[in-house]
C-alpha cells in the first residue's frame, strides 16, 4: 500500500513509519522540516504543514491510506474540512486518526466523508514519564500530586494498532481504546525507573499548593495549572482500566512499562 503518515517524526509517528516500511509498504512521511526528519532510508519524506491545507497537495497525491494526527501548531486542528476534502479528492479511501481528549474538526469532517476511518484512543503515553527526567537526574526524586494508577501505553503499541487498521480490512467505523498491560501509580513507575537505571529514586507526594508551584515552574498558565490539579485529584475512571486492544488486534501482548523504562534508562541516569 501507499500510506501517508502525518506527525511522522512524533512519538507514535516514528514507530508507525518504521513498522509500515519494514512490512514492505511505500511510506510517505509528512514533515514541516524534511531535512531534519531522520527517518529510515527508503521512506519518502515530503514537506507539508497540517495547519495549512494548501501545502498538502503533493503529499496526498497517489496515496491509498493516511494516518492523521489532530493537532498542529499550538492546539487542535481547526481546518479538518479542508484536509479531509483534499484527501477525498485525491482518492484516499482509508484513514486512522490519533485522537485526543475530545473530538476535533478532523473527526467531524471524516464523519461526513466517504473515507473509511478508524479512531485510535490511547491512554496516557509511557513517554510522558520523560517529563520526570530532569528532576530524577538533578535530585533523585519524582514529585507530584497525582497518585492514581494509569494504564499507560507504549508508543510502539499505538503504532502497531494503527498499522493493523491501515493495512487490514474490518476496522472501519471502529473506535479502539489502547492501553498497556497494567495500571501503575506514579510511585510504582518511579520504582520501575529506579530498577531500570540502577539508581535510588524516591517518589514525593506533593500538596495541591506545591503542585501548582511545580506546574507554574514549567511555564503553564493559570487555566492549565488548575486543569492539572483537577486531573490529579479527580482522574477519569477509565484511566486505570486495562484493555486487551493491542493483543487482540496485533496478536502480540502490549509492552510493559518496565520494557519502556529499560529502553529509555539513559535519559534518567545521573551523569557520573
CA distances from 251 to 11, 33, 58, 247 (A): 22, 35, 35, 5
In what helix (H) or strand (E) does residue 3 lie, and over which residues does it extend? Answer: strand 2-5
pLDDT in tens, 117-158: 999 999 999 999 999 999 999 999 999 999 999 999 999 999
pLDDT at 77: 96
CA atoms within 13 A on the CB side of 25: 24
User: Beta 175-178 vs 116-122: how paired, if at all?
Assistant: parallel
CA atoms within 13 A on the CB side of 214: 19
pTM: 0.96
Under-70 pLDDT residues of the chain: 272
Rounded mean pLDDT of the chain? 97
Cα dihedral: 55, 61, 63, 65 (round 10): 40
pLDDT at 163: 98
Strands (E), 91-243: 94-98, 116-122, 141-144, 175-178, 202-205
pLDDT at 100: 84
In the chain, the domains with their CATH numbers are 2-122 (3.40.50.720), 124-153+180-239+255-271 (3.40.50.720)
Residue 239's nearest CA partner among 159, 156, 122 is 122
Amino acid at each position: 500500500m501507499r500510506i501517508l503518515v502525518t506527525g511522522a517524526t512524533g512519538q507514535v509517528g516514528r514507530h508507525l513509519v518504521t513498522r509500515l516500511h519494514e512490512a514492505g509498504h511505500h511510506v510517505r512521511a509528512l514533515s514541516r522540516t524534511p531535512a531534519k526528519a531522520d527517518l529510515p532510508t527508503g521512506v519518502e519524506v515530503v514537506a507539508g504543514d497540517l495547519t495549512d491545507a494548501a501545502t498538502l497537495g503533493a503529499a496526498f497525491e497517489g496515496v491509498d491510506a493516511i494516518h492523521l494526527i489532530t493537532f498542529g501548531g499550538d492546539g487542535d486542528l481547526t481546518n479538518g474540512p479542508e484536509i479531509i476534502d483534499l484527501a477525498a479528492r485525491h482518492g484516499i479511501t482509508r484513514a486512522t486518526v490519533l485522537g485526543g481528549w475530545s473530538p476535533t474538526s478532523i473527526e467531524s469532517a471524516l464523519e461526513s466523508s466517504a473515507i473509511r476511518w478508524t479512531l485510535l484512543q490511547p491512554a496516557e503515553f509511557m513517554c510522558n514519564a520523560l517529563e520526570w527526567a530532569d528532576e530524577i537526574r538533578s535530585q533523585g526524586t519524582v514529585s507530584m500530586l497525582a497518585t492514581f494508577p494509569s494504564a499507560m501505553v507504549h508508543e510502539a503499541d499505538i503504532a502497531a494498532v494503527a498499522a493493523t487498521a491501515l493495512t487490514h480490512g474490518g476496522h472501519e467505523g471502529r473506535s479502539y481504546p489502547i492501553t498497556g498491560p497494567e495500571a501503575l501509580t506514579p510511585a510504582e513507575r518511579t520504582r520501575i525507573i529506579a530498577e531500570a537505571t540502577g539508581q535510588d529514586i524516591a517518589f514525593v507526594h506533593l500538596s495541591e499548593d506545591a503542585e501548582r508551584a511545580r506546574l507554574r515552574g514549567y511555564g503553564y498558565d493559570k487555566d492549565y495549572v488548575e486543569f492539572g490539579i483537577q486531573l490529579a485529584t479527580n482522574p477519569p475512571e477509565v484511566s486505570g482500566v486495562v484493555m486487551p486492544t493491542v493483543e487482540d488486534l496485533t496478536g502480540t501482548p502490549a509492552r510493559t512499562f518496565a520494557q519502556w523504562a529499560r529502553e529509555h534508562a539513559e535519559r534518567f541516569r545521573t551523569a557520573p
